[in-house]
Structure 1
């Protein structure tokens, strides 16, 4: 039963050996010739974007859309991880990593015609801090300790922090810190989700229908693309039409029949059908926090640190990959994915005997149904999750079976993505299941610091807190990576996270769709994409 159930949701991806693989090939077979400008790309999203505002974006499907309308101060090369120019043509970082000075490109305008200036940088960052962590979760974490931005002159912005913030340069490449026009920055959070955000990006919003569809139109006159882009000037596509298609079979059928040109979350059983129609599956691994269970330290049996420790060796991660996902996925070997800067292998070994021994020593004994009990309390907790990734339910069903073997009763609580986010924010869960993508090890601070999300509801852990702060204090890569290594060990040894698998993206592209590319954080960038044959 499980074998057939999980194979139906397995995604086909390729393991990346660099920071993130670039899916740069044309989708169709043979030489498609030089890129052809014009045409509309019809894209099938596997889930609805949660908000049209790049600053408030978080899920992959949201960022696929929002990334296209906003430019960032910098970009990150997906092959090397190097930070490269975009809106800023150059920059300086103070030795103490407190001051970042950006020299902006001249002649850049927002889609409402207003010019990009140093004031735009200041207004954007100020607005993100006003949105707050509840709305702009990632952006506010990147701006931790933000003092303010000074317009030194029209095209020079000096960004200052009260404490070292070495991660900020990479953060300046993310869509969450993309620079927006004054008209957008002046709006309250809810209004910014309505689809009329004004950026300087290669596309603009033409229409936005929540939970249904989004249409983007090419920005005429765009000429300030990232140094990572394959060409300069305007984007090739005239339009991108995003349609929300939650059912995987419907997405694939629409791709094969030519009703869609590309789709999210291509599944393994559909690859032969896609290939036979002349298409292909493009893939890359996500850097950042792997998929895992994050326990709430304030509730039920998860208050017991021994229980949390016992869960680490109780999960057979290789079985999750082999049974649910296939050989091209990777079992988690740390809190961070293997292609994340600062990653260190933590050797997450499957050892159910060790898990049982830990529980028995802590007084958890098998009950009549095999589930352990202590002082009349069952060893049971629920995991709250959503279907942001097609394999989530099947993975957790298998984890449920694995944990039952050590006497732990894991209950599955599938909810919508908005409810999952709300439950996480209010800490209304036992376990929260998810991941967080970023091509920088600072994602550990975002996820686990006392002043970060801290979904665990934990108190001080001196070694962890010192490491999370310490990695912000140096721009020396080796010294920073040493702090990140300590942080990974401390997260696991204190049971803050129970890793399962590394996430990958798998995009189905039709025969006439070319150069669909992944940026450094494994999200799509459509600037170089083009279509042929119509």
Structure 2
């Protein structure tokens, strides 16, 4: 998928932060007792060998939340994708260097025609959990389902899927071919388009209509035929989901007996879980930085941040904030926000400022100007005031700018539950007021925020994090009528540049799009948030398990403490 929203513990509404705060009042003795019961006998046996418990969002640095669906065709979020990805083996595995690792992919190779229109994919022999082979018919089922869903398919348009495809041909049980309507940038199409062709069991799912799939998206019995490393043991909506090893999985065998995603809803609950032993791995909320450092028998690991960016998404469809259509206003907002202050105060200097759509860490796809730190915008309050003056916004008696009897004021909706997100947004609020812009703050749950994006008159701006695919072109969000463009952004030049990114080999077209987007600020780009993990002593395989693109591989986790060794063989049996 090209991108998807995620919640985060900072103003990057799907961000984070680092100012020490008292644990929320709701996380008291009662919550402590409730969490402690999640692992019976914890006090007597501090490490439950064979079991690893984590909250959703680990590795992305986002605040914890719930998994609501295991079918990402019908309801997608970063949390849902983390869970669903454990059940099904992906066609392509893209590593931290943003290259395809065929050793961890179902595909074994991809042949590309000289004119960059035909892609021939070969697959390794693989088996569903019911003994039937995984074949190209299952890949075709996925393609047909995408076509059937149309724009209801969450990443519709990402990677040109499905409208770019002229022919889909099954060449044999383990080889298929895709012919495109015009030449493309092979790198973009492979890791953004082809990666969507995850085989799903045609002989099982094909019995159901789309409506039936929707109704059973959280029903474990629907997901019994799998080919990934884990199977569902239990799914308690709003509480947890438990996975056990898939005994027929042909890849790296799980070294733990149970992998549990425990649904939490505050940063304080993560710290509490690590303190009491009811969690084995979590993100370190930056708002509880010092509390994390005081934990015993827990180590800290700084890992590559989520491949994406934080943003203030602007609503171009809402007439009450039509001033967002003025480039000078957007640039003034970007110039007014002091990212370096937030990075220093909230993120303990773990990340860098970002003013464009391409992540700065790793710098793989940065344009030469972005790599040199030269952006069209940057923290410059004096320039922000000049832009607003030129746009006709004059400072009123209360310090807020006005124009034609209208104040330069808007409400920014952010996800609740992230202390850093709140602190970061409050810093933005101060920065913007200093140049004469009033930004009010409204907090809602993450699921409410996502629902609001489809109701343009109910919001003016919202802040959250955006996870990219492994190739950072964000057509579905910034292209006119893009499937993720609920904000209504419309710029013909942006459309042309994004089209060039998808059809021009190499990265030069990507650089041009990147620099133009940095100038235009279709959303107000903000720095990504760093990711620091808390892991219980004795647990290994962390870095190989949690990917900055949101893919999980918990089969590489294992306990190494002496008293666990004798139990490992028994506990890894399903």
TM > 0.5: yes
Q: 1:9 touches 1:394 (CA, 8 Å); kept in 2?
A: no
Find the aligned partners of 1:405 and 1:454 in 2 and give their Cα distance.
Answer: 30
Check if 1:392 corresponds to 2:421.
yes
Q: CA deviation digits over 1:237-267, x for unaligned, max 9? A: 2221111122323322222332222224544
SS at match of 2:129: coil
From 105, 114, 118, the equivalent of 2:136 is: 118
Check if 1:511 corresponds to 2:537.
yes
Check if 1:171 corresponds to 2:202.
no
| Cα displacement (A) at 1:38 | 7.4
SS at match of 1:103: strand
Q: Which residue is equivalent to 1:14?
A: none
Find the aligned partners of 1:406 and 1:511 in 2 and give their Cα distance.
Answer: 48
Find the aligned partners of 2:283 and 2:315 in 1 and give their Cα distance.
Answer: 31
Check if 1:408 corresponds to 2:437.
yes
SS at match of 1:401: helix
| Cα displacement (A) at 1:512 | 2.8
Q: Which residue is equivalent to 1:67?
A: 85
SS at match of 2:55: strand
5 Å-filtered alignment, 1:211-360, equals 211-223=238-250, 225=251, 232=252, 234-267=253-286, 268-274=289-295, 276-288=296-308, 290-299=309-318, 300=321, 301-338=323-360, 339=362, 341-344=364-367, 345=370, 346-347=374-375, 348-360=377-389
Return closer, same or farther for 1:326/1:293 CA change in 2, 3 Å cut-off: same
Find the aligned partners of 2:419 and 2:124 in 1 and give their Cα distance.
Answer: 41
5 Å-filtered alignment, 1:484-523, equals 484-516=510-542, 517-519=545-547, 521-523=549-551
Return closer, same or farther for 1:305/1:416 CA change in 2, 3 Å cut-off: same
Q: CA deviation digits over 1:442-477, x for unaligned, max 9? A: 442132112422234133422x22221111113x32
Find the aligned partners of 2:217 and 2:284 in 1 and give their Cα distance.
Answer: 24
| Cα displacement (A) at 1:80 | 5.9
Check if 1:482 corresponds to 2:511.
no
Between 1:144-153 and 1:43-52, the stretch displaced more is 144-153
Gaps of 5+ in 2: 1-9, 11-16, 23-47, 57-63, 565-574
| Cα displacement (A) at 1:150 | 1.7
From 556, 568, 574, the equivalent of 1:528 is: 556
Between 1:153-162 and 1:126-135, the stretch displaced more is 126-135
Check if 1:8 corresponds to 2:38.
no
- For these two proteins, the number of residue pairs brought into alignment is 489
Q: CA deviation digits over 1:80-138, x for unaligned, max 9? A: 634434111112123343322111112x1222333210110111122134334445236
Check if 1:471 corresponds to 2:518.
no
Q: Which residue is equivalent to 1:26?
A: none
Q: Which residue is equivalent to 2:237?
A: 210
Between 1:520-529 and 1:64-73, the stretch displaced more is 520-529
Find the aligned partners of 2:52 and 2:527 in 1 and give their Cα distance.
Answer: 32
Check if 1:431 corresponds to 2:478.
no
Q: 2:68 touches 2:218 (CA, 8 Å); kept in 1?
A: no
Q: 1:255 touches 1:263 (CA, 8 Å); kept in 2?
A: yes
Find the aligned partners of 1:322 and 1:138 in 2 and give their Cα distance.
Answer: 38
SS at match of 1:391: helix
Find the aligned partners of 1:273 and 1:207 in 2 and give their Cα distance.
Answer: 34
SS at match of 1:400: helix
5 Å-filtered alignment, 1:50-129, equals 50-56=68-74, 58-79=76-97, 81-85=99-103, 86-106=105-125, 108-129=126-147
Q: Which residue is equivalent to 2:571?
A: none
Q: 2:267 touches 2:417 (CA, 8 Å); kept in 1?
A: no
RMSD of Structure 2 on Structure 1 (CA): 2.8
Gaps of 5+ in 1: 11-36, 226-231
Q: 1:264 touches 1:507 (CA, 8 Å); kept in 2?
A: yes
Runs of 4+ in 1 over 6 A off after TM superposition: none
Find the aligned partners of 1:95 and 1:38 in 2 and give their Cα distance.
Answer: 53
Q: 2:306 touches 2:549 (CA, 8 Å); kept in 1?
A: yes
| Cα displacement (A) at 1:367 | 1.0
Q: 2:267 touches 2:418 (CA, 8 Å); kept in 1?
A: no
Q: 1:340 touches 1:440 (CA, 8 Å); kept in 2?
A: no
| Cα displacement (A) at 1:156 | 0.9
Q: 1:335 touches 1:499 (CA, 8 Å); kept in 2?
A: yes
| Cα displacement (A) at 1:529 | 1.0
Check if 1:40 corresponds to 2:58.
no
Q: CA deviation digits over 1:500-526, x for unaligned, max 9? A: 211333332111321122335154321
Return closer, same or farther for 1:261/1:387 CA change in 2, 3 Å cut-off: same
Q: 2:357 touches 2:525 (CA, 8 Å); kept in 1?
A: yes
SS at match of 2:549: coil
Return closer, same or farther for 1:497/1:207 CA change in 2, 3 Å cut-off: same
Q: 2:169 touches 2:177 (CA, 8 Å); kept in 1?
A: yes
TM-score normalized with structure 1 length: 0.84
Find the aligned partners of 2:519 and 2:465 in 1 and give their Cα distance.
Answer: 19
